[in-house]
């Protein structure tokens, strides 16, 4: 395999591919998912539907995701069938697009892709935006049973992972990793009683995987970051985490689809859970004398 080639080349599509296929609404569904849930209404790719990470993907009561019945209803409203090619894109270098992609994979949707470069690249190229909200015929979707165990890690599994000295990747900012902040820089500092990182984790901020134009770095560059710098390899069982599991879904995507790691899980409980647990191992360099 050439050094520049991704493990799964077809998981990424170009902005031109989307422009060429956005009217194939019987086969392809474009999905916008952003951190800023109001951004879609200001202008989006024609025929793109909006999936709100708060209202659509998360359970309204429990700290969990929607169930199979709710997912089927969401797919029906969006006009997505089991065999639909779903292409995700969004703001913040596709950070939330990969989060939606990850949730779709919890339910086993087969053909999921990411538009490389996201909103940033589409807009930079001067491509068409619209405020018109598309409407598609409702579908009957048959979801698979949620396969959390394959790509999702829970706190007890993370603790066992720590005790076995298996690799963890903390994708938050360096300030959060060091325990100086409890949230992203520039954001309200709330969500956890303790700062720092999970014992034994290495720091690789999620955004290092992205080039200046919003596209993913080459496979060779990514291997240099994760393998050359941190010693990861496809043979290892890796868990990625952040604060609530969204930034780490981006790293999960990079390791799983672009570098071909077969055993990567996203710990969506992340620091909001771990930083509030009693008795779990935390390393906090900011508190060291």
Which are the catalytic amino acids? Answer: 242
Token representation of residue 120 = 């940033």
Taking every pair of C-alpha atoms in the chain, what is the biggest distance, in angstroms? Answer: 63
CA–CA dist 248, 242 (Å, integer): 5
Rg (CA), the chain: 19
Q: Give me 58's structure tokens.
A: 């998360």
Nearest to 115 by CA among 150, 77, 155, 88: 88
Q: How many CB atoms lie within 10 A of CB 243?
A: 25
- Taken in order 122, 128, 134, 137, the sign of the CA dihedral is negative
Strand order in the sheet with 168-170: 202-203, 168-170, 238-241, 264-267
Q: Provide φ and ψ at 103, rounded to 5°.
A: -65, -40
The gap between the terminal CA atoms of the chain, to the nearest Å, is 48
Neighbours of 16 (CB within 10 A): 10
Return the residue matching tokens 């979707």.
141
Three-class secondary structure of residue 29 per DSSP: strand
């Amino acid at each position: 395999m050439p050094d520049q080639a991704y493990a799964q080349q077809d998981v990424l599509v170009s902005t031109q591919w989307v422009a060429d296929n956005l009217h194939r609404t019987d086969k392809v569904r474009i999905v916008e998912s952003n951190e800023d849930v109001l951004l879609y209404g200001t202008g989006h790719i024609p025929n793109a539907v909006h999936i709100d990470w708060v209202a659509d993907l998360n359970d309204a009561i429990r700290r969990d995701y929607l169930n199979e019945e709710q997912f089927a209803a969401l797919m029906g409203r969006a006009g997505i069938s089991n065999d639909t090619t779903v292409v995700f894109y969004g703001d913040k270098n596709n950070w939330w697009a990969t989060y939606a992609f990850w949730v779709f994979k919890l339910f086993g949707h087969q053909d999921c892709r990411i538009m490389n470069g996201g909103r940033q690249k589409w807009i930079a190229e001067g491509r068409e935006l619209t405020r018109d909200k598309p409407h598609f015929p409702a579908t009957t979707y048959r979801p698979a049973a949620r396969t959390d165990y394959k790509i999702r890690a829970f706190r007890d599994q993370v603790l066992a992972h720590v005790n076995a000295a298996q690799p963890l990747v903390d994708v938050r900012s360096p300030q959060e990793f060091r325990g100086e902040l409890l949230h992203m820089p520039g954001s309200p500092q709330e969500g956890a009683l303790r700062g720092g990182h999970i014992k034994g984790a290495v720091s690789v901020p999620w955004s290092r995987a992205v080039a200046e134009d919003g596209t993913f770095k080459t496979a060779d560059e990514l291997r240099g970051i994760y393998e050359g710098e941190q010693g990861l390899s496809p043979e290892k069982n890796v868990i990625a985490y952040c604060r609530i599991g969204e930034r780490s879904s981006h790293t999960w995507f990079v390791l799983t689809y672009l570098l071909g790691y077969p055993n990567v899980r996203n710990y969506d409980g992340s620091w909001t859970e771990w930083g509030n647990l009693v008795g779990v191992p935390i390393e906090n360099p900011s508190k060291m004398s």
